[in-house]
Amino acid sequence: MKTAINKTMPSSAEGMSRVDGRLKVTGAAKYSAEYTPKGLTYGVLAGSTITKGNIIAIDTKAAERAPGVLAVITHLNAPKVPGDQPEKGKAADAKGALKVFYDDKIYYNGQPVAIVVADTFERALFAASLVKAQYKTEKHITSLPDNRDKGFPPRGEGTYKRGTEDAWKLAPFKVEQEYIVPTVTHNPMELHAIIANWDTDNKLTVWDKTQGVKDTQGDLAHLFKLPKENVQVHSQFVGGAFGSALRTWPHEVAAILAAKVVKRPVKVVLSRADMFTSVGYRPFTWQKIGIGATADGKLTGITHEAAGQTSSYENFTEGPTGVSQSLYACPNVNTKYHLVALDIATPTWMRGPGEATGAFALESALDELSYQLKLDPVELRLRNYAQTDPGSGKPFSSKFLNEAYQLGSDHIGWKDRKQEPGTVKQNGWYVGYGMGGGMFGAYRAGATIRAKFNADGTLLLQSAVSDIGPGTGTAMVLIAAEQLGIPAEKIRFELGDSSLPNAPTQGGSATTASVGSAVYKACADLKEKFQKLAGNGATNNPDYTKILKDSGLPSLEVVSETDGGNGMQKYAMNSWSVHFVKVLVNAATGVVKIDKVACVSDCGKVISPKTARSQVIGGAIGGLGMALMEESIIDHRYGRYINNNFADYHVPVNADIPQIDALFVNKPDPIINPMGAKGMAEIALIGMAAAVANAVYNASGKRVRDLPITPDKVMA
Amino acid sequence: MKQFQYVRPATLKAALDVIGKPGVKVIAGGTNLIDLMKRGVTAPDKLVDINHLGLVDHQSLKDITETKTGLYLGSLALNSVVSENNMVAKRHPLLAMALKAGASPQLRNMATVGGNMMQRTRCGYFYDTTMPCNKRVPGTGCGAMEGINRMHAIFGASQQCIAVHPSDMCVALAALDATVHIAGKKGERKLPFTQFHRLPGEHPDLDNNLAKDELIVGIEIPDNNFAQNSYYLKIRDRQSYAFALVSVAAALEIENGIIKNARLAMGGVAHKPWRLFDAEKALTGKQPTEENFAQAATLAMQGAIGHGGNSFKLKLAPATITEALKHAAGLV
Ligand SMILES: Cc1cc2nc3c(=O)[nH]c(=O)nc-3n(C[C@H](O)[C@H](O)[C@H](O)COP(=O)(O)OP(=O)(O)OC[C@H]3O[C@@H](n4cnc5c(N)ncnc54)[C@H](O)[C@@H]3O)c2cc1C
């Protein structure tokens, strides 16, 4: 069994370093594509070159004859996926996940039409280029702005209202504006990859990039009608995902089908271009906000409309209008959210799903309002500070956002900000300050930990959780070290394996709150067991090794389970963030340089200061990318992405990133779990795009409402 | 990608013997060619690796040497080496700046002078073999003309093609009056740098005037008096590792507060590095003031045409010219 941690963990003032850091930087960490089971073969997908229609013929002969090719699989010869077939006597579901190689239908450009398996990757790649499909094409639509009239409400989540509808219109001070968040692609550094092997006819093993080995196990068991325990999922290391690995995608099923056909392990690694069409993206979303306030800055009404894109075969919903419902104390709020089905692959959750999109609109609109009111934007927020959840009326489990505002303003030097835009110039550059914040539900789910204390003083913790980069292993080790009073170096945390005890999928910033609670309980259970074993005279901090030795036991083990807690019944539980940004803007060329960033998180108690800081910096950079440069561009005539590579799809590079300071309120939440820790991954990004847009306006007087804020939009 | 042969000739003559043949491609650093092969844009049968050619005229093609009248860069000199070279830094800081504004350190460590000149456009339609592109497959149409053309040409385009040449280095070399040294079977010839690349016209498939059976052997930059007052300004979507929306190479020779000589070239606006001869003339004899720079910039924009997505360049380009000149003159 693999080890998720390394013994040498240099510690410093900022806290313990990542337990798997050395493995990662030395290349010893093994990612899904790096396993080499015996007889490994290579699969390469061939994608459709049309956007909508049917395959009328597919010529695979040249590919089959190409050197090294073992199989070419299309909808014509693919083994059936049992879970894709309609149940007996029932019609097929009208909508659902894309069924790969199921029939001749094409729903989006780049949809897999074949997988070619060969003995080497290069040969598979070449042979895949020889697969020639002929299509009957239908007229497609891929542009949301051109098709907004085709919007429909998603089931159950379309509209919301409290108080009077459109009350903002009657306010003496008001703003009504439209905002665009374009399609943004997760693009983690690690390409999605899977190695699939059928150990027997009904036993499947996969090494797969996934944020949740248990979910993947469940999905695959369902699709291939296998008992769960017959599906083994390994996902030891994940090189970033940001949501793209939260569900099971067609390439995973394609690899498993291919392995069935060639009766050998098959590896499929997506290309960078595939990453744009195969594993989701943040959906293009149009929004309109109407917001009104009294002369003294009290919000009287918010109307927030949003239309987000989805695919024609599946409805993907997120909650872009949620922030307008809960971020501020405003008596009248009505929101409307529509989906627009396009001939494009299904989007998926991406860091701060919904909230990041909604916060860009709301926090920009609030900023616009602050200029009308001639009121400091922080002050405007404080005047509308929600003491209880405005939607449900429930008390918050904890909220120290006001302290976060203070910390952030002090840190960035907010007092130097001039309310009048375009008034501060330094060396030919306009200087401006902006802020924007957000919130995200603080979730907690059930989890189980197996903990084994050995006679040599080491502790082994096991959980099926994935670690996609936040430092889960590190945080869990720290919780156990504190609870048991033993050195962190003695603790090992094993993860990323579906045979280990249950853990939720790593998403929604819920891992530390969920799995951490189970670790906490496991430690308490272990302690109790030790105390019982020691009998009379046991202290609160017993000498574990001595007790084991005295009782002649090699180890002591507990399996501890925790549920999601019941805090949600009585409390509104959220994490909060606010970002402060200082920018330099060249008015002539439109170039924006980020000069300084301060991110403040109110995420309860910080368990692992160093990895928490990294997590915030990463999220902030994601937010800066969203603000300034990220956009997946489609030529709507063809329905194809035009910048689907890392030369043309820009993510921030070092030169774009100044010092980013991560600050924490660091006050425990008394409700969510015994550690008092809430989620912090999503809030690190939510609100950042607005903070940048607001700073650009403050610097230059140029308001950009359609992301990304590229030079052409600023100079125009 | 398709299977191909790989040969490694040891002399210039041996290389020239093979390169003109159909299906043969020269490879230097490979940073552009390999990408194009992976994407199926080009599919050579044979690669001729020129990195191991022996001495040509007693010197390696990787060398940077002084000549009687200037500086000579071998065609295999690495972009990183040229950009760090002392003689380059002293005499032609403009070239060093332009090189450092291009690609990334890793790429510059592989990329060569000759390869940089020969790199192909980054137009998305050129790269995607399912899309129309007259440069890739003549007669299929221009995808960019009515498509996504934010990065495309505002000068010298044709109905056939509105792609731009993506190089930064070449913009500086065009400004610095460099000469290209070319070897062919019949011997060596020279071409002014500004005449090396061509406009698309009716033949967008041809990027330049190098014959199929010729090799670039080097570049000569004549001595000048621009070192004090030159600047390369590149406007791009991120601070590093992005192609130019617009870039400007500006070089001034200022004597007693008067511009004696000016050189200006733009990148990201045409199928070739776009030399601004008229603006240069207009600046000569003038004082280096922001007003004069802005006037020259306006002049430089005559004949520019926007195509929708790239129309912002009509405004960005003159602003960039003015900014670059201000930097060159030390006004910022
Ligand atoms: C992600 C990315 C970003 C980039 N960003 C920039 C940028 O911002 N600015 C910029 O200027 N460039 C940029 N580049 C391009 C880079 O500068 C070129 O790829 C590089 O200069 C090509 O040089 P090479 O030696 O690798 O050429 P190769 O790839 O080896 O060859 C390119 C072409 O030149 C031909 N060739 C090479 N040498 C000779 C010769 N001596 N005689 C005749 N023909 C020859 C080859 O046959 C081939 O057709 C970028 C490239 C990448 C991949």
**Is A232 contained in some domain?**
yes
DSSP A257-308: HHHHHHTS-EEEE--HHHHHHHS--BPPEEEEEEEEE-TTS-EEEEEEEEEE
Residue of A nearest to B242 (CA): A647
ipTM exceeds 0.95, yes or no: yes
Out of B118, B123, B167, B196, give the residue to mutate to test ligand 1, the one with the largest number of ligand atoms within 8 Å of its CB.
B118
Q: What is the pLDDT of residues B202-213, one digit of tens each?
A: 999 999 999 999
**Is A157 contained in some domain?**
no
Please answer whether residues A279 and A245 qualify as being in contact, where contact means their C-beta atoms are separated by less than 8 angstroms.
yes
What stretch of H or E contains A619?
helix A609-628
Q: Which parts of B20-137 fold into alpha helices (H)?
A: 33-38, 79-84, 86-91, 93-100, 105-108, 113-118, 124-127
> Å from B55 to nearest chain A CA?
35
- Tally of CB atoms within 10 A around A531: 15
Whole-angstrom CA distances from A258 to A74, A206, B37, B179, B268 are 10, 13, 27, 56, 45
Confidence of residue A10 (pLDDT cuts 50, 70, 90): very low
**Which residues in chain A have Cβ-Cβ distances shorter than 8 Å to B234?**
none
**Which residues in chain B have Cβ-Cβ distances shorter than 8 Å to A125?**
1
Q: Which of B122, B148, B316 has the CB atom closest to A715's CB atom?
A: B316
Cβ B131–A633 below 8 Å, yes or no?
A: no
**Is A168 contained in some domain?**
no
**Is A311 contained in some domain?**
yes
Q: Which of B147, B243, B315 has the CB atom closest to A635's CB atom?
A: B147
CB neighbour class for B32 (10 Å; exposed up to 12, middle 13-18, buried from 19): buried
pLDDT number for residue B140:
98
| Candidates A109, A589, A714, partner chain B, best to mutate (most B CBs within 10 A) | A589
Are A498 and A414 in a shared domain?
A: no
**Which residues in chain B have Cβ-Cβ distances shorter than 8 Å to A133?**
none
Confidence of residue A11 (pLDDT cuts 50, 70, 90): very low
> Å from A656 to nearest chain B CA?
6
Nearest to A17 by CA among A466, A520, A609, A515: A609
What stretch of H or E contains A698?
helix A688-700
d(C-alpha A80, C-alpha B262), whole Å:
71
Q: What is the pLDDT of residues B222-261, one digit of tens each?
A: 999 999 999 999 999 999 999 999 999 999 999 999 999 9
Cβ A589–B40 below 8 Å, yes or no?
A: no
Q: What is the pTM of this model?
A: 0.97
d(C-alpha A252, C-alpha A324), whole Å:
37
Averaged pLDDT, A130-134: 98
Is residue B168 within 6 Å of ligand 1 at its C-beta? yes
Domain boundary among B32, B52, B72: B52
**CATH code of the domain in which B232 resides:** 3.30.390.50
CB neighbour class for A328 (10 Å; exposed up to 12, middle 13-18, buried from 19): buried
pLDDT number for residue A539:
67
Are A536 and A683 in a shared domain?
A: no
Are A75 and A212 in a shared domain?
A: yes
Residue type, B141: G
Is residue B83 within 6 Å of ligand 1 at its C-beta? no
Is residue B29 within 6 Å of ligand 1 at its C-beta? yes
**Is B196 contained in some domain?**
no
Cβ A640–B128 below 8 Å, yes or no?
A: yes
pLDDT number for residue A13:
53
Average pLDDT, chain A: 95
For the stretch A155-161, contacts whose Cβ atoms lie closer than 8 Å and that sit 24 or more positions apart, written own/partner, are A155/A315, A157/A317, A157/A319, A157/A337, A158/A336, A158/A337, A158/A338, A159/A334, A159/A335, A159/A336, A159/A337, A160/A321, A160/A325, A160/A333, A160/A334, A160/A335, A160/A336, A160/A391, A161/A333, A161/A334, A161/A335
Averaged pLDDT, A222-247: 97
Are A710 and A598 in a shared domain?
A: yes
Query: Would an 8 Å CB–CB cutoff place B107 in contact with chain A?
Result: no
The number of CA neighbours under 13 Å toward the Cβ of A123 is: 15
pLDDT number for residue A7:
40
Are A366 and A264 in a shared domain?
A: no
Q: What is the pLDDT of residues B134-187, one digit of tens each?
A: 999 999 999 999 999 999 999 999 999 999 999 999 999 999 999 999 999 999
Residue type, A313: Y
CA torsion sign for A388, A390, A394, A397 is negative
**Is A156 contained in some domain?**
no
Q: What is the 3-state secondary structure (H, E, C) of A146-171?
A: HHHHHCECCCCCCEEEECCCCHHHHC
**Is B126 contained in some domain?**
no
- Tally of CB atoms within 10 A around B192: 11
Whether residue A450 is predicted with pLDDT greater than 90 in this model: the reply is yes
Is residue B32 within 6 Å of ligand 1 at its C-beta? yes
Whether residue A12 is predicted with pLDDT greater than 70 in this model: the reply is no
Residue type, A229: E
Residue in this structure with the two tokens 């501890």, named with its chain if needed:
A560
Query: Would an 8 Å CB–CB cutoff place B322 in contact with chain A?
Result: yes
Q: What is the pLDDT of residues A406-425, one digit of tens each?
A: 999 999 999 999 999 999 99
Please answer whether residues A102 and A24 qualify as being in contact, where contact means their C-beta atoms are separated by less than 8 angstroms.
no
Q: What is the pLDDT of residues A263-290, one digit of tens each?
A: 999 999 999 999 999 999 999 999 999 9
Report the largest interatomic distance among the alpha carbons of chain A, rounded to a whole angstrom.
Answer: 82
Whether residue A4 is predicted with pLDDT greater than 50 in this model: the reply is no
Atom of ligand 1 nearest to the CA of B34: 29
Minimum CA distance residue for ligand 1 atom 51: B103
Nearest to A422 by CA among A116, A99, A113, A700: A700
For the stretch A74-81, contacts whose Cβ atoms lie closer than 8 Å and that sit 24 or more positions apart, written own/partner, are A74/A101, A74/A113, A74/A114, A74/A131, A75/A101, A75/A102, A75/A103, A75/A104, A75/A113, A78/A257, A78/A261, A79/A257, A79/A260, A79/A261, A81/A223, A81/A224, A81/A253, A81/A257
Domain boundary among A564, A580, A607: A564
Cβ A591–B235 below 8 Å, yes or no?
A: yes
Nearest to A696 by CA among A372, A401, A405, A368: A368
pLDDT number for residue A91:
81
What stretch of H or E contains B102?
none
Q: What is the pLDDT of residues A679-697, one digit of tens each?
A: 999 999 999 999 999 999 9
The single-letter DSSP state of residue A80 is: P
Residue in this structure with the two tokens 């299509």, named with its chain if needed:
A135
Total tally of structural domains belonging to chain A: 3
16-55 in chain B: CB under 8 A from chain A: 40
d(C-alpha B169, C-alpha B83), whole Å:
10
Helix axes A688-700, A609-628, angle to 10 degrees: 60
- Tally of CB atoms within 10 A around A120: 12
Are A225 and A274 in a shared domain?
A: yes
Q: What is the pLDDT of residues A346-380, one digit of tens each?
A: 999 999 999 999 999 999 999 999 999 999 999 99
Are A470 and A546 in a shared domain?
A: yes
Residue of B nearest to A632 (CA): B148
Ramachandran angles phi, psi of B35, nearest 5°: -60, -45
Query: Would an 8 Å CB–CB cutoff place B164 in contact with chain A?
Result: no
Annotated catalytic residue A190: no
> Å from B151 to nearest chain A CA?
10
Averaged pLDDT, A449-469: 96
d(C-alpha A6, C-alpha A13), whole Å:
20
Q: Where are the beta strands (DSSP E) in chain B?
A: 5-7, 24-27, 46-49, 64-66, 70-74, 179-184, 187-192, 215-222, 229-235, 246-255, 258-267, 274-275
Whether residue B317 is predicted with pLDDT greater than 90 in this model: the reply is yes
**Is A409 contained in some domain?**
yes
Domain range for A532 is 3-30+445-564
Is residue B279 within 6 Å of ligand 1 at its C-beta? no
d(C-alpha B240, C-alpha A23), whole Å:
29
Cβ-Cβ contacts under 8 Å for A513 (sequence gap 6 or more): A442, A443, A444, A672, A673, A675, A677, A678, A679
**Is B161 contained in some domain?**
no
Between B321 and A15, name the one with better pLDDT: B321
Q: A611: which 2 tokens?
A: 């990895």
**Which residues in chain A have Cβ-Cβ distances shorter than 8 Å to B239?**
593, 653, 655-656
pLDDT number for residue A157:
66
Residue of B nearest to A122 (CA): B1
Cβ-Cβ contacts under 8 Å for A201 (sequence gap 6 or more): none
Averaged pLDDT, A435-463: 97
**CATH code of the domain in which A552 resides:** 3.30.365.10
Domain boundary among B37, B52, B67: B52
**Which residues in chain B have Cβ-Cβ distances shorter than 8 Å to A589?**
235, 316, 319-320, 323
d(C-alpha A75, C-alpha A98), whole Å:
13
Q: What is the side-by-side strand order in the sheet with A132-137?
A: A105-106, A53-59, A132-137
d(C-alpha A502, C-alpha A515), whole Å:
9
Please answer whether residues A209 and A192 qualify as being in contact, where contact means their C-beta atoms are separated by less than 8 angstroms.
yes
d(C-alpha A608, C-alpha A619), whole Å:
16
Name the percent of chain A in helix, strand, coil, to the closest 5: 30, 25, 45
Q: Which of A122, A589, A655 has the CB atom closest to B239's CB atom?
A: A655
Averaged pLDDT, A209-213: 97
Please answer whether residues A301 and A167 qualify as being in contact, where contact means their C-beta atoms are separated by less than 8 angstroms.
yes
Whether residue A345 is predicted with pLDDT greater than 80 in this model: the reply is yes
Are A397 and A439 in a shared domain?
A: yes
Cβ-Cβ contacts under 8 Å for A25 (sequence gap 6 or more): none
Are A559 and A630 in a shared domain?
A: no
Cβ B125–A125 below 8 Å, yes or no?
A: no
Q: Which of A589, A650, A655 has the CB atom closest to B320's CB atom?
A: A589
**Which residues in chain A have Cβ-Cβ distances shorter than 8 Å to B2?**
126
d(C-alpha A616, C-alpha A601), whole Å:
8
**Which residues in chain A have Cβ-Cβ distances shorter than 8 Å to B332?**
427-428
Are A351 and A249 in a shared domain?
A: no
**Assign residue B148 a region: left if phi > 0, alpha if psi is -120 to 50, beta otherwise?**
beta
pLDDT number for residue A211:
97
Cβ A715–B312 below 8 Å, yes or no?
A: yes
Are A339 and A400 in a shared domain?
A: yes
pLDDT number for residue A537:
61
- The rounded Å distance from CA B121 to ligand 1 centre is 10
Please answer whether residues B193 and B299 qualify as being in contact, where contact means their C-beta atoms are separated by less than 8 angstroms.
no
Domain range for B18 is 5-52
**Is A636 contained in some domain?**
yes
Q: Which of B243, B320, B332 has the CB atom closest to A428's CB atom?
A: B332
Domain boundary among A278, A297, A329: A278
Q: What is the pLDDT of residues A302-343, one digit of tens each?
A: 999 999 999 999 999 999 999 999 999 999 999 999 999 999
Residue of A nearest to B3 (CA): A126
Minimum CA distance residue for ligand 1 atom 5: B103
* Catalytic member of A190, A252, A318, A682: A682
- The rounded Å distance from CA B113 to ligand 1 centre is 8
> Å from B123 to nearest chain A CA?
9
Out of B49, B51, B112, B233, give the residue to mutate to test ligand 1, the one with the largest number of ligand atoms within 8 Å of its CB.
B112
Q: A39: which 2 tokens?
A: 């007889």
**Which residues in chain A have Cβ-Cβ distances shorter than 8 Å to B238?**
628-629, 650, 652-653, 655-656
Minimum CA distance residue for ligand 1 atom 19: B32
Chain A residues with CB under 8 Å of a chain B CB are 49, 122, 125-126, 129, 427-428, 586, 588-591, 593, 628-629, 633, 635, 637-638, 640, 642-643, 645, 647-648, 650, 652-656, 710-712, 715-716
DSSP B159-210: TTB------SHHHHHHHTT-EEEEEETTEEEEEEGGGTB---TT-TT--BS-
**Which residues in chain A have Cβ-Cβ distances shorter than 8 Å to B147?**
635, 637, 642
Whether residue A668 is predicted with pLDDT greater than 60 in this model: the reply is yes
Are A381 and A457 in a shared domain?
A: no
> Å from A124 to nearest chain B CA?
10
Q: B173: which 2 tokens?
A: 């070399």
Total tally of structural domains belonging to chain B: 2
**Is A644 contained in some domain?**
yes
- The rounded Å distance from CA A665 to ligand 1 centre is 50
Ramachandran angles phi, psi of B59, nearest 5°: -140, 155
**Is B231 contained in some domain?**
yes
**CATH code of the domain in which B31 resides:** 3.30.43.10
